[in-house]
Structure 1
Amino acid sequence: MAITIKLTNDTGMSTGNGTVWVAGWINASDSSSFKILQKGGSFAAPANPSELPFHSLPDVATVTLDESTNGNDRLLFVVAQNQPAALAISNNAPTQYAQYPYAAEPGDGVQPAGPYDVFEFGMDAQFNVTAVSGFGLNLRFSATNPATGHLQYYGIDASVSREQIGAAFTAFVANEAKTYAPAADFAELLYSAPLPGTTYMPPMIGNEFFALCDPNDMLAAKSGNYTGSTSDPLASYWDTVLAQFFAEGNRISLNLSANPAAPEIYSGICGPKTNPETGYATQAYCLSNGTNSYDIYKPKPGLQSAQYVFQQAFGNLTPAGSAGDAGLLQDAIWEALCRGVAMSGVLLPTTPLELEPGFSTLAWNNAASWYRAGSTCHYYAKFLHCSDIDGNDCRISGKSPIYYGGAAYGFSMDEDPLGPYSGPNVPSKTPFNVSSGTIKLSIGPWLGTTQASFAPSAAVR
């Protein structure tokens, strides 16, 4: 079996203004099978075991994958005027760029030469373009669904330029702030100048923004990776809704199974409890399926609450960890919070009626209720899923979303929800594994609009 990935540069930039460069690797961290992208588009062991070079896109028009992979496989695209310095290789894996935004100038070897983004792929794996750690380039790709034979599209609509995305984000945040004032605090995520109190200017091309930052990374940069403090209003953004969600006496009931014949119900009440990991007295949901029970604790207000929702890293607020049902329960809560529907799945202590088991999942998995105007939700994710080219909610304007089908990765757990779900594909990821055939991967127009190499008006879902 072999997969062919055809690369196309649709930026419309002349060589003097910027060039698309690509580096790639498969099977990172595996000493026996780690390989890097060669100039001709194949993968081979690195000629220099300490360096991963970049190639200009004309030199790599087609990438061929014809061997098994381990899930640590990437194509890294950078737009820069000159060839970026090679990435260092350590322990059979590339040392990747420092995550933006930057509180100080990144050191040699981890400082990007220009805006960048990644494409994730693998043999017999799902392919995706992700914006979990920020948006750098307007990538898009097409793949044929083996079950239907239909060609499907993922990523940024081919007719949308990077310049238009930056303008749309600014307009979108301003529009959302009209019905929910704290949405304005997300405007800082358009990264085109040094962070307040710093001097490092990220490398921009064509006077366009460097990236759209993920709010988790913005707060991490401003707080010393959450070890210090910050006056950024996003640090307290989730405080009110978390206080409401973790109020004493609240009840939730989750169904982790998508099989109607075999539901997997966890239900429980929120009450006062001391976290055994920290000794901190707070509130927690104790969720049980009759056999297993797991506690999920309320974070402290402020930066810890922001980290809990924006970063979505398992820690001492979920003592049972990320494995098994405990991790799935926490994932479902994070998804509901980010989509602005957490409270719609809560039975308040003042509500006397009883609902059917799994009532929280039923409410949370209603895609029509996600990201409503005026809600406390993840507005970076809402932009990726819902914005049209003018910065309006495409569900209201009737125009096409910036991402094909509104499918995007806006936060770490931004997947199709657990349990019964009949809505659209959530992430910009193939819902099927790719093991053969041709994938067409393009970098979209930089300024204005250009004639793109493929430009369907909407994704086939």
Structure 2
Amino acid sequence: MSITTLNTITLKNMTALDTSKYTVWVAGFIQQPDVYLYLNTDGNFTSDAGNYININNGLTVNVPDVTNLGNNRLVFLVTENTTTPPALSPTVGYTAYPFNAAPGVCPPGPYDIFEFGPNAQYDVSAVDSFGLNLSFTVSNDNLVYGAVPAISRPEIGEAFASFTGSDPLGSAFTQLLYTSPTGTGYPDSIMGQFSAIVSPKDWLAINPGANGLNGYWADTISAFFTQGNQLNLYLNAATVGNYSGTSDGTKYVLTGPGGITVNIPAIDFAGNQGFMQAVRGINPGENQNEYDAFNQIEAAIFQAISRGVLLDGVVAKGGSISESYTSTAWTNIENWYTNHKNAYNQNPSVYDAYAKFFHCARNHGGIIMGLNSAQTLGMAYGFSLDENPNVGSWSAGNNIPSKTNYSVGSGQDVILTIGRWFQAL
């Protein structure tokens, strides 16, 4: 039985790299309930295992109208012509580029990921580090998601260096602009550029003692979990409703709709874990609603830490806290990524300057990332959970990452661009 094409993704290689020396590659897969479909050289997905495809001259990808489980992606990679990429595994991912270290497969050159799927949201990029300047547009949608195509990789690097040099909290993040090889022969040097910008999470995984980043939010987390502190938030995902409770000094115990109880332990955010959401499996005796609410509340805390508004949503022991006080504070865009005096103890707020750069930085007389529909924040690369808030009332127009706020479906064709490698002469 033939598979109907739902929509197309036109891949455009705009790197202007010398194709006699370098190759832009793509590999992709769609996860169905019982089998993976793989991208093949004709642009179709079949059950035949797919290798990397040379897209120096572009490619039209036909998205099939099939059931999928959400684990779908196109992976883009740039190498020297003497390098052939290993086959892409849907179950064993790449390591944090440009580090030649386990776990996973070490990519030979710079790479980036585009998440997509039949009747799903589209997102660039699913990886944390900035590897390739990808962007995409959708028919009948005037937004540019991801990196502005006219901005080259060197310009993005220069903008990051300029930003970290001037931002109040940027100095600790300067080290994330990685421009040197990490070992003999690794990774491939493409026009003398080794990587672009490494995420703090990936950097700390390789360099756990990184000066300026290790324990970056230690004081914030300590204050957040002070005994007697109160939270009152509206969760708009999982088990939707209002959650309130206090900290005993080691954890928050929050009560939600229908008497649901959620424990949020301080240990989940200790050390460097503020740069990632702490995720655990379901506990014995914990029902699915409780587990889902736990995951979403920890995600909300992770987001609030990253944006520097965590302590705006806390009321100390003995004070009066109103309904939705916490979620209202965490969704106040005016305070995002600023070192304002927080509402809890009036100390300057700390935020993730790496995330701030991709969400807010402007340089070269223009915008490095396309702006969202509200024209408030950049359509930045999605940092897993650093997306639209899962608490409070939220307008989709203010969504942060380069993710559509709708599912791309029948006839909604997409143009995906691998952007310029170097500045125009």
Match of 2:393 in 1: 420
1:129 aligns with 2:127: no
Q: Distance in 2 between the 1:38 and 1:317 partners?
A: 38
Aligned residue for 1:326, secondary structure, equals helix
Give the C-alpha shift of residue 128 in structure 1. 0.7
- Using the TM superposition, name which of 134-143 and 239-248 deviates more: 239-248
Equivalent of residue 253 in structure 1, options 208, 212, 232: 232
The amino acid that maps onto 1:424 is N
CA 206–218 in structure 1, closer or farther in 2 if over 3 Å, else same: same
Aligned residue for 2:311, secondary structure, equals helix
Work out whether residues 26 and 53 of structure 2, in 8 Å CA contact, stay in contact via their aligned partners in 1. Answer: yes
Q: Distance in 2 between the 1:36 and 1:172 partners?
A: 40
After TM superposition, the structure 1 = structure 2 runs for residues 318-337 of structure 1, keeping only pairs within 5 Å, are 323-337=291-305
1:210 aligns with 2:210: no
After TM superposition, the structure 1 = structure 2 runs for residues 111-126 of structure 1, keeping only pairs within 5 Å, are 111-126=106-121
Aligned residue for 2:29, secondary structure, equals strand
TM-score by length of 1: 0.78
Q: Distance in 2 between the 1:88 and 1:446 partners?
A: 24
Give the C-alpha shift of residue 199 in structure 1. 6.1
Q: What are structure 1's unaligned runs of at least 5 residues?
A: 224-229, 273-282, 391-397, 451-461
Equivalent of residue 239 in structure 1, options 218, 227, 246: 218
- Using the TM superposition, name which of 365-374 and 162-171 deviates more: 365-374
CA deviations 1:95-127 (Å, max 9, x no partner) are 4332234265x79x9232211111111100111
Q: Distance in 2 between the 1:386 and 1:231 partners?
A: 25
Match of 1:435 in 2: 409
Equivalent of residue 421 in structure 2, options 434, 439, 446: 446
Q: Distance in 1 between the 2:212 and 2:185 partners?
A: 22
CA 356–367 in structure 1, closer or farther in 2 if over 3 Å, else same: same
1:191 aligns with 2:178: yes
The amino acid that maps onto 1:79 is V
Aligned residue for 1:331, secondary structure, equals helix
Give the C-alpha shift of residue 309 in structure 1. 1.4
After TM superposition, the structure 1 = structure 2 runs for residues 328-407 of structure 1, keeping only pairs within 5 Å, are 328-349=296-317, 352=319, 354-373=320-339, 375-390=349-364, 399-405=366-372, 406-407=378-379
CA 122–2 in structure 1, closer or farther in 2 if over 3 Å, else same: same
Quote the sequence identity (%).
36
Match of 1:269 in 2: 246
CA 37–131 in structure 1, closer or farther in 2 if over 3 Å, else same: closer
CA 401–133 in structure 1, closer or farther in 2 if over 3 Å, else same: closer
Give the C-alpha shift of residue 94 in structure 1. 5.9
Work out whether residues 294 and 326 of structure 1, in 8 Å CA contact, stay in contact via their aligned partners in 2. Answer: yes
Q: Distance in 1 between the 2:334 and 2:82 partners?
A: 45
Match of 1:4 in 2: 8
CA 89–173 in structure 1, closer or farther in 2 if over 3 Å, else same: closer
Aligned residue for 1:216, secondary structure, equals helix
Report how many aligned residue pairs link the two structures: 399
CA deviations 1:9-53 (Å, max 9, x no partner) are 11122224422111122227x55x42222112112232xx5xx42
TM-score by length of 2: 0.84
Work out whether residues 117 and 137 of structure 1, in 8 Å CA contact, stay in contact via their aligned partners in 2. Answer: yes
The amino acid that maps onto 2:161 is T
Q: Distance in 2 between the 1:154 and 1:100 partners?
A: 22
CA 13–62 in structure 1, closer or farther in 2 if over 3 Å, else same: same
CA 247–34 in structure 1, closer or farther in 2 if over 3 Å, else same: same
The amino acid that maps onto 2:274 is V
Work out whether residues 23 and 56 of structure 2, in 8 Å CA contact, stay in contact via their aligned partners in 1. Answer: no
Match of 2:138 in 1: 143
CA deviations 1:241-275 (Å, max 9, x no partner) are 111111122111111138xxx98211111123xxx
Match of 2:41 in 1: 39
Give the C-alpha shift of residue 212 in structure 1. 1.4
Q: Distance in 2 between the 1:362 and 1:309 partners?
A: 21
How large is the RMSD of aligned CA atoms in angstroms? 3.0
Q: Distance in 1 between the 2:382 and 2:107 partners?
A: 22
Q: What are structure 2's unaligned runs of at least 5 residues?
A: 340-347, 373-377
Give the C-alpha shift of residue 83 in structure 1. 6.4
Work out whether residues 382 and 403 of structure 2, in 8 Å CA contact, stay in contact via their aligned partners in 1. Answer: no
Q: Distance in 2 between the 1:17 and 1:169 partners?
A: 28
Work out whether residues 143 and 370 of structure 2, in 8 Å CA contact, stay in contact via their aligned partners in 1. Answer: no
CA deviations 1:364-416 (Å, max 9, x no partner) are 011221101463111111111011125xxxxxxx9534344302245331121
The amino acid that maps onto 2:132 is L
Work out whether residues 250 and 269 of structure 1, in 8 Å CA contact, stay in contact via their aligned partners in 2. Answer: yes
Work out whether residues 331 and 413 of structure 1, in 8 Å CA contact, stay in contact via their aligned partners in 2. Answer: yes
